Amino acid sequence: MAEIIEGKYSAEGLRFGIVVSRFNEFVTKDMLEGALNELRRFGVSDTAIKVIWVPGAYEIPFACQTLCQTNELDALITIGCIIRGETSHYEHIAQSVCDGIQKVTLEQTIPIGFGVITVENMAQAVDRAGGKQGNKGRDAARSAVEMVQLIRELKPGSERETALKGLIEREFKK
């Protein structure tokens, strides 16, 4: 049978940074509340959460990179809302933000829950900030928690690996 490794939904003792875009704050504040509520539900204390507001979505990757340099956090969560306008600006910002966040997570080797929504209009944004499409801030927080736990399972020295080594040692002593 295949070995299945999954992250757990437990975050007690973990530290998180949440980078939130102030642009379209009408939407992002509800997404932030969804993320905070989800982290609390998984056992994260408010003192283990840093919320950083940035002017717009474009600034999210730089704030994430700067937070990584503190080595204080187990994961980051990004929250932003990019709404299509009448020009191609939307595509440029959306692509830059996505690429920037991906670059940070890969280079800094830290899980980042992606909660930057790209929508056609305000109605779609509201639907994704706690409306009929759920709360993408909550989803990003859940993803960050799961990835922290998954990475811990995969890295050498994890609890899982330590338990397996102990089991092997006990078997060989028989």
Ramachandran assignment for 66, one of left (phi > 0), alpha (psi -120 to 50 degrees), beta (any other): alpha
Q: Which helix (H) or strand (E) holds 140?
A: helix 136-154
Catalytic center residues: 89
Contact 35, 18 (CB under 8 A): yes
Rg value, the chain, Cα? 18
Residue position matching structure tokens 């056992």:
43
Characterize 53-92 residue by residue with b for buried, 16 or more Cβ atoms within 10 angstroms of its Cβ, and e for exposed.
bbeebbbbbebbbebbeeeebbbbbbbbbbbeeeeeebee
CA distance linking residue 116 with residue 81, whole number of Å: 6
C-alpha closest to that of 130 among 57, 22, 28, 52:
28
